[in-house]
Amino acid sequence: MPDPDHLDRRGAVGVITLDNPPVNALSLSLRVALQDAFEAGLEDPEIEAFVIHSAGRMFSAGADIREFDSGAAGESPTLGELIAMIEASPKPVVAAVHGAAFGGGFELPLGCHARVSVPGTRVGLPEVTLGIVPGAGGTQRLPRLIGVPAALDAIVSGKPMKAEKGYELGLIDEMASSLDDLVDVAVRLAEKLAAEDGPPPKVRDRDDRLAEARENPGLFDDFRASIARRARGFEAPYACIECIEAAVEKPFDEGLAFERETFTRCRNSLQSKAQRHVFFAEREARRVRGVEKATPKASISQAAVLGCGTMGGGIAMCFANAGIPVRVTETEQGALDRGMDKIRGNYASTVSKGRLSEADAEARLALIEPTLDFDSIADADIVIEAVFEDMALKKEIFTRLDAICRPDAIMATNTSSLDVDEIAAVTSRPEQVVGLHFFSPANVMRLLEIVRGEKTSPEVLASVMAMSGRIGKVGIVVGVCDAFAANRMLYPYAQQAGFLIEEGAFPEQVDRVIYEFGFPMGPFGLGDLAGLDVGWRVRQHREPTRPKDLRYSPIADRLYEMGRYGQKTNRGWFRYEEGSRTPIPDLEVTELIVRTSEELGIERREISDEEILQRCMYPLINMGARVLEEGISERSSDLDLVWLYGYGFPRYRGGPMFYADSVGVDHVYETMKRFHEVHTDWLEPAPLLERLAREGGTFGDWSAS
């Protein structure tokens, strides 16, 4: 509970300090304290103006999201009421903003009569990332201060803005040179405003920047068109645009009321619940069984990667991008040169797109040291093996690593399907061994499956969890099983997509349904992107262990045999014009599909979009249930993140397990049962799915214990 009486006096200026550690969340208790301090100052005849600033490392991270569901956010004084009171104050109020001011924590300064900040401060309205719109006047006041185009960019992206930029745009009135001066600068500005005649200037009364927008009536439609592909299916960005439109078209109070209604509608939507679920899932994923806050973590200042192929090169880039020196080895110079050329090419392409300066690219490249000297990796804090997927080779490598690595070095394998415990067992220190399953392209994809071996130590897990954040990954801990969580859940999805086209659908229909559901692309487009030769090789590799009843459609293998490898040959499931990535249905594929159905004795039928969606989604959810009940994953929200960051599952649907809960676990179970009766064993409902359906449970509430 913050001190309700924290109003200090600096001459005639009342200085109010927000103090609600750790991030000054605007919880009810803080709002009451602010109101009390403010009212006391209003009544005090010796106070002529106010400064509001914060204790701690930031101004305020905004609303307390947990209050959304408890209802406390609606208790008086609401943030909107507080801001209205401040804005209406006859005594000017200056916000002194440092560190960060987000969401409601930024709407509060927007309602003040002036804003002062320091370099490096970040301000913004990230509400859209929670599936809502700002709810305390942000969409009405920000465009009045910085103009509609800049406000659209800021609010619809939800991305923070540096205070320096805010100063240029007219959002920040004055910049203090350092944090030490911030309150002084704010006090002086407050004194100056108090000395002016008449009531202090209100943001709500400003119209000049809105008038500019009225002169450009196409502005909003153009903006909608510019986000159409990215925001597809996600309602909150469009709701934000409507609110800013209301700011331009309606008087302030009506605009504010419109924003409030929109906020309430969004907050109660399933999409917002899904976005909030993901927000909490990301925090929850950091809790790992057996790992405590106090568990020691190794500091990682030198990394090594074995193999500079598709994965090794990308992994080396991850370290270099995070400023960590990395050595990368190969068995022969040609492979090393090819790998380094690929890395150089990747950086050059980022530079040519304007996303990285040439100097930064050079600095990153300089952190990657190619070498043929295996022994030179002996001093690395972490070694990640990314050689061919071959158990004998991996065992040989780990035996050599065991002989040369420091006793405390972390030894990781990037295997996608081999048994991490079997690899660890060849070393004298299996507790130092862990799986680090990156996704391709490793320098781009955010997901990192951290595979916990039977003997992996909590210290190693804590260290790689921390490292994953440092190299920009979302680390999700899973246990050892064939293909781990992500790929294991992907197989039934891809398998069903294959069966659907044997039964009567075509790739373009399946891909359209999955795209409309919100994925960036469907399974066939994805296959073409990844390369059908890659999938073919994986199937060959898995063939010896594949249970005989687990049939898969032969069509993908036939395309491979025809030399149709996907985008790289301009022909795969689809056809591609030279230099284009747009998939075009191809008659040759259509004929192959129809012929294969005939050969298999399948009478093709019309397949509904609904069946396509269910046949693709429910089996993967079913596999998720198996992954959970086998203890491979600790919680269903981890599997949601795996799909969000590994395969582009739409965030506004919360991930596959959340989606199952939202359509009803019993419905998923009944549908799976029906599929199982018509088709074969691979669609058998998982015991956990059946149990939850029977008990009326959800994956979200399920826990392993």
Contact set with ligand NAD (CB under 6 A): 306-312, 329-331, 335, 386-389, 397, 414-416, 437-438, 440
Find the shortest distance in angstroms from Cβ 484 to ligand NAD: 10
- Cβ distance to ligand NAD smaller for residue 494 or 593: 494
Inter-residue contact 414 to 318 (CB < 8 Å): no
17: burial class by Cβ within 10 Å (0-12, 13-18, 19+)? buried
State how far the Cα of 241 lies from the Cα of 247, in Å rounded to an integer.
Answer: 10
Q: Out of 127, 385, 449, 634, pick the active-site residue.
A: 127
Q: Which pairs from 268-274 meet CB under 8 Å and 24+ separation? A: 269/131, 269/235, 270/662, 271/131, 271/234, 271/235, 271/236, 271/652, 271/653, 272/130, 272/131, 272/132, 272/236, 273/131, 273/654, 273/662, 274/131, 274/651, 274/652, 274/653, 274/654, 274/655, 274/658, 274/662
Q: Out of 46, 48, 67, 107, pick the active-site residue.
A: 107
Tokens of 635: 């919680």
Find the shortest distance in angstroms from Cβ 439 to ligand NAD: 6
Find the shortest distance in angstroms from Cβ 311 to ligand NAD: 3
Within 10 A of 357 (CB to CB), how many other CB atoms are there?
11
* Position of minimal CB gap to ligand NAD: 309
State how far the Cα of 17 lies from the Cα of 60, in Å rounded to an integer.
Answer: 11
Find the shortest distance in angstroms from Cβ 321 to ligand NAD: 18
- Cβ distance to ligand NAD smaller for residue 193 or 311: 311
Tokens of 204: 């709500």
336: burial class by Cβ within 10 Å (0-12, 13-18, 19+)? middle
- Cβ distance to ligand NAD smaller for residue 124 or 453: 453
Find the shortest distance in angstroms from Cβ 632 to ligand NAD: 17
- Cβ distance to ligand NAD smaller for residue 257 or 538: 538
Within 10 A of 81 (CB to CB), how many other CB atoms are there?
13
State how far the Cα of 66 lies from the Cα of 315, in Å rounded to an integer.
Answer: 37
258: burial class by Cβ within 10 Å (0-12, 13-18, 19+)? buried
Is 127 one of the annotated active-site residues of the chain? Answer: yes
Find the shortest distance in angstroms from Cβ 436 to ligand NAD: 9
Find the shortest distance in angstroms from Cβ 333 to ligand NAD: 11
- Cβ distance to ligand NAD smaller for residue 321 or 440: 440
**Which uninterrupted H or E stretch holds 70?**
helix 66-70
State how far the Cα of 655 lies from the Cα of 647, in Å rounded to an integer.
Answer: 10
- Cβ distance to ligand NAD smaller for residue 397 or 501: 397
- Cβ distance to ligand NAD smaller for residue 117 or 415: 415
- Cβ distance to ligand NAD smaller for residue 438 or 519: 438
Find the shortest distance in angstroms from Cβ 552 to ligand NAD: 19
Find the shortest distance in angstroms from Cβ 376 to ligand NAD: 12
Tokens of 456: 């992996």
- Cβ distance to ligand NAD smaller for residue 386 or 628: 386
Pick from 100, 94, 83, 93: which is nearest to 163 by CA? 100
State how far the Cα of 54 lies from the Cα of 59, in Å rounded to an integer.
Answer: 5
Tokens of 222: 């153009």
- Please name the residue ranges forming H helices in 379-506: 391-404, 420-424, 458-470, 484-503
Is 107 one of the annotated active-site residues of the chain? Answer: yes
Which residues, listed in sequence order, are joined to residue 438 by a DSSP beta bridge? Answer: 448
For residue 647, give every residue at least 6 positions away whose Cβ sits within 8 Å of its Cβ, in sequence order, or none.
486, 490, 519
As annotated, the active-site residues are: 107, 127
